[in-house]
Amino acid sequence: NVASKNIELKKLVYVYLVRYAEEQQDLALLSISTFQRALKDPNQLIRASALRVLSSIRVPIIVPIMMLAIKEASTDLSPYVRKTAAHAIQKLYSLDPDQKEHLIEVIEKLLKDKSTLVAGSVVMAFEEVCPDRIDLIHKNYRKLCNLLVDVEEWGQVVIIHMLTRYARTQFVSPWREDAVFDENGEKTFYDSEEERRVDQSKPYIMDPDHRLLLRNTKPLLQSRNTAVVMAVSQLYWHLAPKHELSIITKSLVRLFRSHREVQYIVLQNIATMSIQRKGMFEPFMKSFYVRSTDATHIKTLKLEILTNLANEANISTILRELQLVRFRNTDEECQDKAFAAATIQAIGRCATNISEVTDTCLNGLVLLLSNRDETVVAESVVVIKKLLQTQPSQHSDIIKHMAKLFDNITVPMARASILWLMGEYCEHVPKIAPDVLRKMAKTFTSEEDIVKLQTVNLAAKLYLSNSKQTKLLTQYVLNLGKYDQNYDIRDRTRFIRQLIVPNEKSGVLSRYARRILMAPKPAPVLQSAFKDRDRFQLGTLSHTLNSQANGYLELSDWPAVAPDQSVRIVEVVEPAGAPVLGKSKPGKSAEKFYSDSEEEEEGSSSEDSSSSSKSESESESEENSDDSNKSSSSQSENSSRESDSEKKKKTLKNKKLQQQKPDILNITYLPPQIIQKALLLIIMTKLFSIHIVLSFSNQFVANCRCSLLCLCVFLACQFDAVSWHVRVSLQASFPVFVPETSHELLHRMTGKGLSAQYRFTRQPCIYGNSMVSLQLTLSNSSDQALENIHISEKSSTGQNIHRFNAIERLEPQASVTVSMGVDFNDSTQAANFQLCTKEDEFSVSIQPAVGELLLPITMTEADFTKEQGKLVGMNESSATITMTPENVSSQSVNRKVVSVANLGVIPSSQENIHRFAGKTVSSGCLVLVSVALKDPDAGITINTEKTVMGSMLLRQVKTALTNSGP
């Protein structure tokens, strides 16, 4: 059934295989070939399901197949398949960690994906495989911040946690007192130089990228997903300035309406926050009041938070609530002993932390000593014992009252606490303490171990302070403890006897017995159980468990000095003056017609550098020309090596010379007959000298170049008076390979029935020499006709866009193909515009690959070598790769290179060297690519003035040559 053509059945079979693949591995292996075929299925659901099942078969022998499938799926046109590839990365890494380096390459590629469907999955793969490779995030940081709002909810959680760790390594702490929170980060902190001299310390100004993260995550506090709200809250807690933390309070309080599991996690995090920032939650104190319907663990956490929020201003309100909690629904509360104990502990903490209410809390706890519940009495005794250590002399009456209740208290911890109080403050109750020891001597053998130990301690302290009354009692208790079954009690008894009862064997230590046993003890500090949990990142499993869980990544400390900010800048080549959509650049055609030599001097079009080298006869004719023309040509050859300042000076000089030169005629793309007639007519008049630029297409060169050159030489011999400057400039040839792949511009669901796809034709654009030619296919999948389909004139993104003529009407289920041109300015930055119908407007964008921004040219091998020698150093990008056997052939290399880049193939006399040439569409800069095969390696070299474009093209060529298959 795995090969069934029924899509629904096939998906069900895939689900079944995922479930039982590990249990029946041999049977699962039989279907791998079918999965590989399914990876090429036109249906994206089938492709994704096949990859999901293939990656779920945990058999090491198919690791190479899985690796290849993941690489292919990572470049799939469907974002759903790419998302599945990101999920498969984690599965393959857990199966074979040795594939880490190859998987990191796929992760790096997928991190650049602009689809919101892929972002969360690839970041999850990044966290699993290489969470320490922060360098992979630099270039994608701003993109992830901007995509965050549109990513699916669980992807948002993963990205936010990753960006939290990233920000702690890349930005300095915003918690300084001299912090200046400027959104733009452009204004200085001090207004005058004098104030700067007074304080030389540099104030903190928030990094714009730091502010970008906070600003883009803030709207997510309104998310319906509690995990997203919690993730944003922890991000603000760890990254935001302290005065901005209040914005997360309402969102956290809102989560109390959710299930008790969610409440538990949220309350744990609030308990940690409330220790350091009480002011955040104090306005919402009523939200933490205990309800009778709350579970025990929820009640306990609310008490914890109320205790953390206690201060002199609200302590009376909190104590009143604690009292109501204790006495509300008494029968139910008594059954919940843990909560009753927690309530008493909360009262004790309030009394310890706020001295003004210590007496009030003590009196209330003393009243609880007569309660029927043993747990309440025991916990009250323990808390009172801790409170009495703060002011024992003022509370002797409480100690006496506790001694009177001693017989009625049966909980061992409570009895032990009373005995400790009697011994510690026996001097304040000299008449009661011996009587308590007498009672304990009677029941010593039946008491719990903790009570016996405190009885021995009480006997020792009374022997030292009141030996007349308690000497015999002490000896009796020590004799009982000497033969007790517990060795701790026996050891304690022997130690006490040698310490307090002097004899011949007693050492010097017995003289210090009183100072040892009766030494003043420091008062205990009642602290919150969440005091030390801030060492873990909020919202993590480690914080919930208060223990480091497997896979936990600690937040790093803030760097003392901010790292380089430029690592997050994505290099995008933008023009100096961005033209308005639909408008051509002013004066460009005229300037090209009248001042071609000036463009040659400025190096703006770089057509001379991208053309083939001149023939020997032409160079000889140039040597015989006047001095001004010699200097002009030499400056053109060396323009790429000169500094910008020298170029500007020479440009001004050449403009003056240009005004003195005779008029220049530029004849371009004309039939031979017309050129001949025009030359004869102009030469016969002898009115001005002629500068002819013959520009040939590939077909034109084949048919007419020889005859035209012969004509020019003949005319030059006949008319000596005419000054000839003949320069052959080879223009774009026909593309070697034209991809048929179309890219989605507008989906039919988004376009309300209108769908659009675009394709790069790789032909010279008829709308402008600097534009890239595109073909759009518009389809109407709705049941109604669409009218007035056009591109809005208002939209503009900096690119010059030639709009297609408006389509008046598109019938249902009909399609139409139109052409348009876009000047991308030699940049891969997307062109954004509005595709409109009569009723609606849709925002669309066209993202070009770097290889589509080129036009192929032809030249000889010698010309290629000469031009390549001019573009070295920073203008050269190179890499060495290992070729697969099927890619070593000449046809394979040529096919793969021209498939990713619109380049022309240059004939080569060496079998192991392949050369390709092209020029950028917008600026005409030369792009030279050479691939040298050295079995099994290959060296790739790209020479171009556009260094950024060269680096991007190098990565694409490497990917094409290392991938197997077509």
Query: Is residue 81 in a domain?
Result: yes
- What is the token pair recorded at 388? 């009495």
Average pLDDT over residues 502-518: 75
- What is the token pair recorded at 698? 């590939």
What is the structure's pLDDT at 304? 87
Query: Is residue 389 in a domain?
Result: no
Same domain, 839 and 886: no
691 pLDDT more than 80:
no
Same domain, 825 and 861: no
Task: Tell me, yes or no, if the pTM score tops 0.85.
Answer: no
CATH, residue 60: 1.25.10.10
- Nearest residue to 418 (alpha-carbon basis) of 397, 433, 438, 431: 433
Instruction: Name the band, by pLDDT with cuts 50, 70 and 90, for residue 21.
Output: confident
Decide: 401 and 434 in contact? Cβ < 8 Å: no
Other CB atoms within a 10 A radius of the CB of residue 515 amount to 9
**Residue % of the chain over a pLDDT of 70:** 77
Average pLDDT over residues 352-373: 77
Is the Cα dihedral 253, 255, 259, 265 positive or negative? Answer: negative
Same domain, 844 and 885: no
**What single string gives the DSSP state of each residue in 829-851?**
--EEEEEE-SS-EEEEEE---GG
Out of 36-50, 380-394, 756-770, 823-837, least confident range: 380-394
Among the candidates 161, 184, 217, a domain finishes at: 217
CATH, residue 767: 2.60.40.1150
Among the candidates 217, 239, 273, a domain finishes at: 217
What is the structure's pLDDT at 656? 46
The three-state DSSP-derived secondary structure of 359-373 is HHHHHHHHHHHHCCC
Residues ≥6 apart with Cβ < 8 Å to 170: 134, 207, 209, 559, 562, 563, 568
Query: Is residue 412 in a domain?
Result: no
CATH, residue 864: 3.30.310.10
Average pLDDT over residues 5-10: 84
- CA dist., res. 163 & res. 98, Å (int): 27
Tell me the pairing of strands 727-730 and 693-696.
parallel
Same domain, 864 and 896: yes
Same domain, 31 and 170: yes
Helix (H) and strand (E) counts in the chain: 42, 17
pLDDT digits (tens, 9 = 90+) for 571-618: 654 444 434 444 444 444 434 444 444 434 344 333 333 333 334 444
Average pLDDT over residues 232-253: 91
Same domain, 146 and 31: yes
- What is the token pair recorded at 91? 């599965």
What is the structure's pLDDT at 187? 40
Query: Is residue 56 in a domain?
Result: yes
951 pLDDT more than 60:
yes
Decide: 123 and 158 in contact? Cβ < 8 Å: yes
- What is the token pair recorded at 310? 């206690």
The three-state DSSP-derived secondary structure of 62-100 is HHHHHHHHHHHHHCCCCHHHHHHHHHHHHHHHHHCHHHH
Decide: 771 and 763 in contact? Cβ < 8 Å: no
User: What is the average pLDDT value for the chain, to the nearest integer?
Assistant: 78
What is the structure's pLDDT at 299? 86
Same domain, 927 and 780: no
**What single string gives the DSSP state of each residue in 624-693?**
TS-HHHHHHHHHHHHGGGS-HHHHHHHHHHHHHHHHHSPP----BS--HHHHHHHHHHHHHHT-S-B--E
Supply the range of the domain harboring residue 777: 743-848
70 pLDDT more than 90:
yes
- CA dist., res. 347 & res. 687, Å (int): 109
Instruction: Name the band, by pLDDT with cuts 50, 70 and 90, for residue 69.
Output: very high
Same domain, 771 and 907: no
Other CB atoms within a 10 A radius of the CB of residue 692 amount to 21
What is the structure's pLDDT at 178? 55
Decide: 11 and 38 in contact? Cβ < 8 Å: no
Out of 112-116, 445-449, 518-522, least confident range: 518-522
pLDDT digits (tens, 9 = 90+) for 763-811: 888 888 889 999 999 999 988 899 999 988 765 556 788 888 889 899 9
Same domain, 952 and 872: yes
In Å, what is the CA distance from 621 to each residue of 618, 624, 625, 726, 788?
5, 5, 7, 9, 58
Cα-based angle 208, 214, 219 (whole degrees, multiple of 5)? 135
Other CB atoms within a 10 A radius of the CB of residue 221 amount to 17
pLDDT digits (tens, 9 = 90+) for 626-665: 444 444 444 444 444 444 544 444 455 454 444 444 443 4
Same domain, 861 and 958: yes
In Å, what is the CA distance from 896 to each residue of 65, 739, 960?
22, 12, 6
698 pLDDT more than 80:
no
- CA dist., res. 587 & res. 451, Å (int): 102
Among the candidates 819, 848, 877, a domain finishes at: 848
- Nearest residue to 727 (alpha-carbon basis) of 637, 632, 613: 613
Decide: 209 and 137 in contact? Cβ < 8 Å: no
Out of 50-59, 325-334, 346-355, 498-507, least confident range: 325-334
- What is the token pair recorded at 159? 């990205």
Distant-in-sequence contacts of 604-609, Cβ < 8 A, 24+ apart:
604/923, 605/923, 605/924, 606/919, 606/923, 606/924, 606/925, 606/926, 606/945, 607/729, 607/919, 607/924, 608/636, 608/727, 608/729, 609/640, 609/867, 609/870, 609/925, 609/926, 609/945
Query: Is residue 464 in a domain?
Result: no
What is the structure's pLDDT at 682? 47
727 pLDDT more than 70:
no
What is the structure's pLDDT at 86? 95
pLDDT digits (tens, 9 = 90+) for 845-857: 898 999 999 999 9
Same domain, 884 and 944: yes
Same domain, 918 and 773: no
**Residue % of the chain over a pLDDT of 90:** 24
Query: Is residue 749 in a domain?
Result: yes
Decide: 273 and 528 in contact? Cβ < 8 Å: no
- What is the token pair recorded at 470? 């308690």
> 932 or 688, which is more confident?
932
Query: Is residue 210 in a domain?
Result: yes
Average pLDDT over residues 52-72: 89
Query: Is residue 944 in a domain?
Result: yes
Domain count across the chain = 3
